[in-house]
């Protein structure tokens, strides 16, 4: 993790979102010049932008992270939340499913998927997915 990422986390945790964003953006720019860019700087930026409800910007950052590592489950999960925030429910569903399949220790995507199904009136799907969420959460102690 770069010092810019560390500064971003510290600033974000302290409620200094503008400073966190600046630090994460710098980390993303530096990361792009690497021969093998890490998915984490854009994933961290995307997570912050999601929290700030800057959905189009969050989507771009998270898609960049997934270009570097298509198997990064947490990026799929945050992209799902972002897409849902943009009203792209079918795309969000696919991202939640991808996150849940990629990391069997991550329960949160199943919770979000279950809530999405409830909103779409897919009650049986919601019940099935939320039951799986409960099992996974109990087995893994997922805190995301």
What confidence score (pLDDT) does residue 75 get? 98
What confidence score (pLDDT) does residue 10 get? 41
What confidence score (pLDDT) does residue 142 get? 64
pLDDT of 9 strictly over 70? no
**Domain housing 39:** 1-70
Higher pLDDT, 11 or 78: 78
> What is the per-residue pLDDT across 10-64, written as a single tens digit (0 to 9) for each?
444 556 789 899 999 999 999 999 999 999 999 999 999 999 999 999 999 999 9
What confidence score (pLDDT) does residue 143 get? 63
> What is the per-residue pLDDT across 117-126, written as a single tens digit (0 to 9) for each?
999 999 999 9
**How many Cβ atoms are within 10 Å of 87's Cβ, its own excluded?**
9
> Which residue, of 15, 41, 70, is where some domain finishes?
70
Residue 18 lies in a domain: yes
pLDDT of 8 strictly over 60? no
State mean pLDDT over 83-90.
Answer: 98
Alpha-carbon dihedral sign for residues 11, 14, 17, 19: negative
Residue 81 lies in a domain: no
pLDDT of 6 strictly over 60? no
pLDDT of 3 strictly over 70? no
Total count of domains within the chain: 2
Residue 79 lies in a domain: no
Same domain? For 105 and 142 the reply is yes
* CATH number of the domain within which 1 lies: 1.25.40.10
What HEC string does 93-130 produce?
Answer: HHHHHHHHHHCCCCCHHHHHHHHHHHHCCCHHHHHHHH
* CATH number of the domain within which 122 lies: 1.25.40
């Amino acid at each position: 993790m770069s010092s810019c990422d560390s500064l971003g986390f510290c600033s974000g945790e302290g409620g200094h979102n503008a400073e966190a964003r600046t630090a994460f953006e710098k980390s993303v720019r530096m990361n792009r010049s690497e021969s093998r860019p890490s998915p984490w700087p854009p994933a961290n930026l995307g997570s912050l932008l999601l929290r700030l409800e800057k959905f189009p910007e969050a989507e771009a950052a998270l898609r960049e992270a997934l270009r570097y590592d298509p198997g990064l489950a947490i990026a799929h999960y945050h992209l799902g939340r972002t897409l849902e925030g943009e009203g792209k429910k079918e795309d969000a569903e696919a991202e939640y499913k991808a996150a849940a399949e990629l990391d069997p220790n991550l329960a949160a995507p199943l919770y979000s998927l279950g809530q999405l199904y409830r909103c779409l009136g897919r009650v049986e799907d919601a019940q099935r997915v939320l039951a799986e969420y409960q099992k996974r959460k109990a087995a893994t102690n997922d805190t995301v």
